[in-house]
Structure 1
């Protein structure tokens, strides 16, 4: 049984980080979060907000060149942040020897891989608009602000209630 998907509009990077922090309050050892979205969509921004809320040691950055980065915590399970972009199949992801049961694991680019290794996960799809964005009114030279459409889908028994998401978005 899974919960119905929830779709949110996330206004800016700060709101994406707040969504990560909200998610952090729901996570425990054994939880897997699959992040889906193109380059620059906000996957690492969400993970950074999650890591800040979990009080992980070290700065959360994209693990593109190391494939997986473990962020220990003073208390609680570590956060493992995985970039599966260069992995060809689930066996290569499994070869990373990630302790899924003892960690909170966030996997970017893992669609088509993660489902071969775990039974339950939260899939978060982040869609970035194409064109039409505007710079903030108070700083016309700043980078454009582009709201994101975020769809959160549960897979498996663990995530049958997504009611906590009512505090996010829009």
Structure 2
């Protein structure tokens, strides 16, 4: 597994970078977002949604756990999950995400240690804000050839 790091200097840059990522994602892709409160997970997801061309608004699904955002451009829907309130992989499994996984892009906030089982190939992005809280470092941890290639494409576009 080859990791890559992107420095994102603002919330706007995080959004734009997410849109670039979203334009590279395809049906069946799973992205796991890791980072503390305020790290930029939802901002990144908003960018991914823009890149995918799905219906919004994109807000944190903390209390509803998961939202499906249909495509406006004939592409895959976005399944946006917030696993913060889930007790473990069994509760994530209870959401029956696998029913939509092949035809959607699935983004799971707070999903580390739980969401990786949704697909053998996936991308984990660890977001770490700097001391100002404005800039952040995104560490990309691809699992599988599909995401190794995707990370390479995303790095070339930078």
- Confirm or deny a common fold (TM above 0.5): yes
Q: Which of 19, 23, 26 is the matching residue for 1:25?
A: 23
| Number of matched pairs | 153
Does residue 164 of the first structure (1) align with residue 134 of the second (2)? Answer: no
Structure with greater helix share of residues: 2
Length-normalised TM-score, structure 2: 0.91
Deviation at 1:53? 2.1
Gaps of 5+ in 1: 134-144
Aligned structure 1 segments of 4 or more residues deviating by more than 4 angstroms: none
- The root-mean-square deviation of aligned C-alpha atoms, in Å, is 1.3
1:160 aligns to what SS in structure 2? helix
For residue 86 of structure 1, what is the aligned residue in structure 2?
A: 85
1:6 alignment counterpart: 4
| Rg comparison, structure with higher value | 1
Residues 15-164 of structure 1: pairs in structure 2 closer than 5 A: 15-74=13-72, 75-98=74-97, 99-130=100-131, 133=132, 146-161=134-149, 162-164=151-153
Instruction: Determine the C-alpha separation between the residues in 1 that align with 2:79 and 2:116.
Output: 17
TM-score (norm 1): 0.85
Deviations 1:120-142 (A, max 9, x none): 11010000123xx3xxxxxxxxx
The alpha carbon displacement at 1:50 in A equals 1.1
